[in-house]
Amino acid sequence: MSLQDSKTVVVGMSGGVDSSVAALLLKQQGYRVIGMFMKNWEELDEDGQCQSNSEYEDVVRVCDMLEIPHYSVNFVKEYWDGVFEHFLKEYKAGHTPNPDILCNREIKFKALYEKAKEYGADYLATGHYVRRGVTDEGESLLLKGLDPGKDQSYFLYAINGKVLDDVLFPVGELQKSEVRKIAAEYGLATAQKKDSTGICFIGKRNFKNFLGQYLKKQPGNFETLEGKVVGQHDGVAYYTIGQRRGTAIGGPGEAWFVVGKDVARNVVYVEQGADHPSLFDDCLTATESSWISPKGPPKMPFKCKAKIRYRQDDQECTITQIEGDRLLVEFSEPQRAIAQRQSVVFYQGDICLGGAIIESRGLA
């Protein structure tokens, strides 16, 4: 009997191809595998359908084919209280939050992790494109996935480092194309299924219409930085720094981009040109830092790389502690469209060190 034969793994299964292949690989490695589907959202989508029902049907099909037990757990209240209410609060304040990061911290790697332990699991596994490493001292590391186009470490920087000790990421060593190929070879029901998009656990929606169900529209002015009114908006909550689409501002010259917001005045500032100087800053301040290592952050100041959005290349920077939990992040090159309440995530090579919530552009 191998070590794996004596270990039980709960796989968080979403009904997608990545978690399906994660379950398959773990069973092949000899683990006792349990599939667990999370129901986190009960509202109907724009077509009057409950997306979670069809997702669970796919989970059942995959688990039956793999001959592993499966369960559905209800985290609707946990998701609403721990993620969605925070999401709405941030938008009401005119910020641009990232619900996927909070969702991973509060639901997948807290509520689901605790539920897996209740079921007697030694490990929790997910279909994330990241890897877990170990230091010489036995401390867990969060590493980038080997597929640079799918690496999801940006979204996982806030999970508890101790929880990471008991988490497996079976597809983190693979390219997405390899995952699709494996799913097709074994005839998994999710082999050709498109990747999920949109808000974590809610899915792809017309964002303005969706947000409008929960936030009252507050029309106001689009203004240039010099105070010229150039159009009307539906509310500052619907716009983020660097946004082009949705302004509907016509006229001659280059396209208009959102460069700032004044929530108190209900004004969205816009300027023309994708490279307008007001879109760029060479530093930011951040709070609510979270570090993977139980030891906390490296000794400051320290140099590393960082990214302020998921699809961005790593950027050279220096991090200095200002006061308390506040950090000053100074970049070697000016960064475009730094958005308040998004996350800045720190790296040394393939190691994700942690991250923080952006408090302000520039030095506040």
Catalytic positions, written as ranges: 103, 200
Burial 190-212 (b: 16+ CB within 10 A, else e): bbebeebeebbbbbeeeeeebbe
In three-state secondary structure terms, 118 is helix
CB 340 within 8 A of CB 258: no
Closest CA to 269 of 309, 308, 242: 242
Q: In angstroms, rounded to a whole number, what is the distance separating the alpha carbons of residues 149 and 195? A: 13
Count the residues in the chain.
Answer: 364
Residue 23 has phi, psi (to 5 degrees) of -65, -45
Q: In angstroms, rounded to a whole number, what is the distance separating the alpha carbons of residues 338 and 363? A: 12
Q: Which residues contact 227 (CB under 8 A, 6 or more apart)?
A: none
Q: In angstroms, rounded to a whole number, what is the distance separating the alpha carbons of residues 20 and 329? A: 39
Q: Interhelix angle for 176-185 vs 17-28, to 10°?
A: 70
Q: Which two tokens stand for residue 95?
A: 């910020």
Q: In angstroms, rounded to a whole number, what is the distance separating the alpha carbons of residues 364 and 362? A: 6
CA 351, 203, 308, 163 torsion-angle sign:
negative
- Look-up of token digits 């494996």: 182
Torsion, CA 141, CA 145, CA 151, CA 154, rounded to 10: 0
Note the helical H segments in the chain: 17-28, 51-66, 76-79, 85-92, 99-103, 112-118, 153-156, 161-164, 176-185, 207-212
